[in-house]
Amino acid sequence: MGPSELADLAQPGVLTDPTPFADFLTFVLKDGDLGSEAVGDALQMVSNARKSIAQKDSTADMTVTVGFGPASWRRLFPDRAAPPELVAFPERREADRHFPSTPGDLFIMVKSKRMDLNFQASKYLTTGLAPIADLIEDVQGFVYLDDRDMIDFVDGTENPGGTARLNAVIVDVDGPERGGSYLTVQKYMHRSAEWDSLATSDQEDVIGRTKFDDIEIADDKKQPFAHNVRSKVKVDGTEIKMYRQNRPFGNAHERGTMFVGFAKSASTIDTSLQQMIFADADGAYDHILDFTFAVTGANYFVPPQSLLDSFA
């Protein structure tokens, strides 16, 4: 199977570029027996809402991407083997740094070039899923300036593109998970006052890139605690990529970043987070965590499009 055929298996939103607007919806399943008919009707609604709303403006590039957590996979698809790396997000803590593990059975990312279409899709998805799941969080992300996050650095510069993105994101081993992707979602809040009090050069040391022109700092001048050092995953000297579809959110009062990371192996994202939060033998950890903190954390598997189409 060639790259294009593998890409055709995936849910389109996994591979497409981030759009100016994105809604990130987190659901938890209701207690008790959901019933196969109710599950089928709810998942059919996902497909129907996406198609109906997307056709209102074909230039808006709307996609609806659906991921399932480990507990919900077992309940919704009892006859389908769970992806082997789909496990609950583990809580991590060291010193003042904390990655909490929070509820999340279904995660839906609605993205397009129009905020109003995203809102309409999210409204209908919430209604359609209501018989089996409750919406517990809706975060509306948006593009900020030239793809900057709310600490004013360009986000996603090192994202892979083209075939490299496909190779980094889509599961290519034989089995029912082929064409799917592992996903980790965290909501980060920023300590803006503390961050803004730093000199620009100190901020650049924390990130590992220049602030205004987004140039990576040379390796021999980069700090060992820089974000793009601690978050980078290497195996035998070769970097293993993930694809971040992060988006900032917030307002003048409070703000943050949604980390939305896709990879063909959950271990890639897991290793990155471990390196960020836990100090190495020399005491280096990701110093961005001195100025931003996670308030959610959940793992999902985004199955191939064919699984969703089977309910349409």
- Compute the distance between CA of residue 85 and CA of residue 36 in angstroms, rounded to an integer: 25
The model's pLDDT over 9-64, given as tens digits with 9 standing for 90+, comes to 999 999 999 999 999 999 999 999 898 899 999 999 888 888 899 999 999 999 99
70 torsion bin: left (phi>0), alpha (psi -120 to 50), beta (else):
alpha
Whole-prediction pTM: 0.96
Percent of the chain with pLDDT over 70: 99
Q: What is the pLDDT of residue 311?
A: 83
- Compute the distance between CA of residue 87 and CA of residue 81 in angstroms, rounded to an integer: 13
**Domain boundaries, position 276:** 3-309
The model's pLDDT over 222-272, given as tens digits with 9 standing for 90+, comes to 999 999 999 999 999 899 999 999 999 999 999 999 999 999 999 999 999
Residue in 138, 291, 273, 143 with CA at minimum distance from that of residue 203: 291
Residue in 149, 226, 183, 186 with CA at minimum distance from that of residue 73: 183
Q: Is 222 exposed, middle or buried (0-12, 13-18, 19+ CB in 10 A)?
A: middle
In whole numbers, what is the pLDDT of the chain averaged over residues? 95
Instruction: Specify the pairing of strand 255-263 against strand 298-302.
Output: unpaired
Q: What is the pLDDT of residue 1?
A: 59
Instruction: Specify the pairing of strand 255-263 against strand 181-190.
Output: antiparallel
| Catalytic center residues | 155
Residue type, 98: H
Per the CB < 8 A criterion, the answer to whether 306 and 9 are in contact is yes
Domain total in the chain: 1
Residue type, 300: Y
Q: What is the pLDDT of residue 8?
A: 94
Q: Which DSSP symbol is given to 58? A: G
Q: What is the pLDDT of residue 2?
A: 66
The model's pLDDT over 298-307, given as tens digits with 9 standing for 90+, comes to 999 999 999 9
Percent of the chain with pLDDT over 90: 90
Per the CB < 8 A criterion, the answer to whether 311 and 44 are in contact is yes
